[in-house]
Structure 1
Amino acid sequence: MGSQQKAGVGFTHEEFAALLDRYDYRFSPGDVVPGTVFALEPKGALIDIGAKTAAFIPLQEMSINRVDNPEEILQADEMREFFILSEENEEGQLTLSIRRIEYMRSWERVRQLQKEDATVRAVVFAINRGGALVRIEGLRGFIPGSHISTRHAKEDLMGQELPLKFLEVDEERNRLVLSHRRALVERQMNKLETGEVVIGTVRGIKPYGAFIDIGGVSGLLHISEISHDHIETPHNVFSVGDELKVMIIDLDADRGRISLSTKQLEPEPGDMVRDRGLVFEKAQEMAQRWREKQAAKLAGLTEETEGAEEVAEGTEVIEEAEVVAATEEELAPATV
């Protein structure tokens, strides 16, 4: 019971009286009303909400979590909010729910967490063919297999607490989908930089590239980034378990993706195929060259942008008649 009062949903006697004074006594399903616990029973509790007959809350409606007896949630004379679940039965008794209030507030909290792009932690309580199940704010969440860390077998995650990011929060469809991989990638990305050389292990090979494990997260070494030479298939270059030096060429936190390259580390085109050891020996030197090129390219783009802004400011002062009379040749030098 105490957990509910600690959450700040209990009432003082004065607050309870004020709520009763405001309530018009027309009870309808979907209303949230104040009530006081009248009596505890093995399968539920009787609640006084000011109706002609004490309302009833079944055991299964006392919490979003499993409850074995009413004393876990309620105490005699406790005052709190209740959701009216159904209309009066033949005896004039209403059915109430706390679970529905918790359910609505839980969805509200996870929507806010998603909006903040928060990382949450939850324990895996079940594994199925498609992925893993966890509970977030009392709601059941699903982690697709494709969003579980490739470092662990799915079955090994049972009972483990995982960092997770939200992929989908849809109350209407009762869908709460999360990603373990994205949370790991984000955490790892905070330690990584574009242009950095890291050591990784080949965890999987596909026709389009190789997946490289770097510190517990997977990055893609696309076939086009293996070598300047044409590569027919990554299987001709790598085997699962190979340890490589790779350079990070892109970090996409929103999509949870890390793009890698060995091509940019080649001292000469094709060295990755002919002499992998030389590529790894010169990796830091080649990465430094790549970073310098990127910095120069960025500086060039900045200069172009600044030039375009200056041109735009200059053209604003040209009178309309001059613009109409200007020839294409006269405008060409001012066009970016």
Structure 2
Amino acid sequence: MASFTHHQFAGLRCPPLSSSPLSRPSSTASSKAPARPSFCSAAVIAGTYALTPAQKERQKLKEMFEEAYERCRTAPMEGVAFTVEDFNAALDKYDFDSEIGTKVKGTVFMTDMNGALVDMTAKSSAYLPVQEACIHKIKHVSEAGIYPGLVEEFVIIGENTSDDSLILSLRSIQYDLAWERCRQLQAEDVIVKGKVVGGNKGGVVAIIEGLRGFVPFSQISAKATAEELLDKDIPLKFVEVDEEQSRLVLSNRKAMADSQAQLGIGSVVLGTVQSLKPYGAFIDIGGINGLLHVSQISHDRVSDISTVLQPGDTLKVMILSHDRERGRVSLSTKKLEPTPGDMIRNPKLVFEKADEMAQIFRQRIAQAEAMARADMLRFQPESGLTLNSDGVLGPLTSDLPSEGLDLTDIPAAEE
């Protein structure tokens, strides 16, 4: 039986699975085998022997690979959603001008001691040096609020030839904004604070909005050297703002004059002792330097100012006078003493009673002015004016003597 079966199916052999490029070449294949043999029919295979699961899986994969090969050969773009047109459109969308001076948006993805790496959706990353990260001088980009993940607009200032990476800057953008801000402040005619960072024979250099401005000595109200003003904040107003010429000229005298115009004689203000001199103490009253003369500290004689005041002390002072042209303000604590010598013995009481004593002082001034106007009317009755009990001028009334006013009942003004 076995010999019959062998003889019956001796010529019935299944050819190799495929001669497809995806199949391995068979070393035992006959040289006369057809270039692309066909599979045996299922009926023949079923009549000879059953395929194992592994053979079935191999046959299934082979059919799938042959189908994919044929599809790639005849219709390579079939079923692909991203076309060549889409690719070109994507290039146009993310392409940008890399010329120097161009503003581009980027995302910071790494920082180090020298700067920050920025993703600009270009072929290579761009770099932001630490000196270009801020208009102010900083040691690390984090001081300017630059951290990974920050999305910001940068300006291209150069290119690194070694790796074709771009060099970016935030400082250039901030520089333009600072000049615009200074022009706005000049138009509004406001007073700003500037820190003195240097000087020469002609004046001092102050920082305003991150820019270096020049303050001539002729525009500084106080007689001080550049060394004395160094690292101090002084009030300033704009005189000239010229970005094209990089000229920023400022005036301390104009700022002081405007501030002093708001100070009324007899008003009480809070001040800080800046320095002591043999003739008095210089007091900072809101950016204005006033002089508290030694004779205006107390009714009692003060031989050594340092026994009463020290630099850094905070105290209340009264405005006695101010010279707007010279920018000088005269101050007094003597007028605030409830009793003579309190500034030496009990300065705390003087400051507690300051507003009350200042009111009394202003009343004395008003009384003195009323007496002066009354005295003027006494010698000029033809003016047709009279003076009421409040010291206000008014029309001449019939109950007054034609020769003028009787001032014998008016009390003398206290000093």
Contact 1:151 1:217 in 2 (8 A): no
The change in CA–CA distance for 1:219 and 1:67 in structure 2 (over 3 A counts) is: closer
140, 143, 146: which one pairs with 1:69? 140
Contact 2:196-2:206 within 8 A present in 1 as well: yes
SS state at 1:64 partner: coil
Give, in angstroms, the shift of residue 95 of structure 1: 0.6
- SS at the partner of 1:125? strand
Shift of 1:188: 2.0
Matches of 2:246 and 2:151, distance apart in 1: 30
Aligned twin of 1:131: 203
What 5-or-longer segments of structure 2 have no aligned partner?
1-90, 266-290, 292-320, 328-371, 378-415
* 2:15 aligned residue: none
Question: Within 5 A, what are the aligned runs for 1:178-327?
Answer: 178-191=250-263, 215=322, 217-219=324-326
1:192 to partner: Cα distance = 7.5
What's the CA shift for 1:151? 4.6
Residue 143 (structure 1) aligns with: 215
One-letter identity of the residue aligned with 1:170: D
- Partner of 1:143, secondary structure, is strand
Query: Given the two structures, how large is their TM-score scaled by the length of structure 1?
Result: 0.50
Change in 2 beyond 3 A, CA 1:216/1:37: farther
Residue in structure 2 matched with residue 115 of structure 1 by the alignment: 187
* Cα deviations by residue, 1:235-257 (Å, 9 ceiling, x for unpaired): xxxxxxxxxxxxxxxxxxxxxxx
* 2:221/2:326 contact within 8 Å kept: no
- Post-superposition Cα deviations, 1:289-330, rounded to whole Å, max 9, x if no partner, equal 9xxxxxxxxxxxxxxxxxxxxxxxxxxxxxxxxxxxxxxxxx
Shift of the alpha carbon at 1:128? 2.0
Aligned amino acid, residue 163 of structure 1: P
After superposition, what is the alpha-carbon deviation per residue over 1:268-305, rounded to whole angstroms, capped at 9, x for unaligned? xxxxxxxxxxxxxxxx77xx99xxxxxxxxxxxxxxxx
Matching residue of 2:114: 43
Deviates more, 1:34-43 or 1:170-179: 34-43
Please give the per-residue CA displacement for 1:188-237, whole angstroms capped at 9, x wherever unaligned: 234589xxxxxxx9xxxxxxxxxxxx6264359xxxxxxxxxxxxxxxxx
Tell me if structure 1 keeps the 8 A contact 2:124–2:164: yes
Root-mean-square deviation (CA, aligned residues, Å) is: 3.2
1:49 deviates by: 1.1
SS of residue in 2 equivalent to 1:80: strand
Specify the code of the residue in structure 1 equivalent to 2:322.
G
> Could you tell me which residue of structure 2 aligns to residue 102 of structure 1?
174
Provide TM-score, normalisation by structure 2.
0.41
For 2:201, the aligned partner's letter is R
Secondary structure of the residue that 1:185 maps to in structure 2? helix
Identify, as 1 or 2, the structure richer in strand.
1
Tell me: higher relative CO, structure 1 or 2? Use CA pairs within 8 A at least 6 residues apart. 1
Paired residue for 2:37? none
Query: Is 1:54 aligned with 2:128?
Result: no
- SS of the residue corresponding to residue 30 of structure 1 reads coil
User: Residue 94 of structure 1: SS of its match in structure 2?
Assistant: strand
Point out the more displaced range, 64-73 or 183-192. 183-192
Amino-acid identity (%): 41
Where in structure 1 are there 5+ consecutive unaligned residues?
A: 1-19, 194-200, 202-213, 221-283, 290-336
Whole-Å Cα distance in 2 between the matches of residues 185 and 21 of structure 1?
59
SS in 2 for 1:184: helix
Q: What residue number does 2:153 align with?
A: 81
Residue 110 of structure 2 aligns to which amino acid in structure 1? A
Residue 155 of structure 1: CA displacement? 3.5
- In structure 1, the residue corresponding to 2:165 is in which secondary structure? coil
The answer on whether the counterparts of 1:31 and 1:84 sit within 8 Å (CA) in structure 2 is yes
Cα separation, 1, equivalents of 2:121 and 2:248: 37
Larger Rg: 2
Q: Do the aligned partners of residues 190 and 141 (structure 1) sit closer, same or farther apart at CA in structure 2, a change above 3 Å counting?
A: same
User: CA offsets, 1:142-201, max 9 Å, x none?
Assistant: 1111001135454322222111100111111111110000111122234589xxxxxxx9
Match of 2:235 in 1: 163
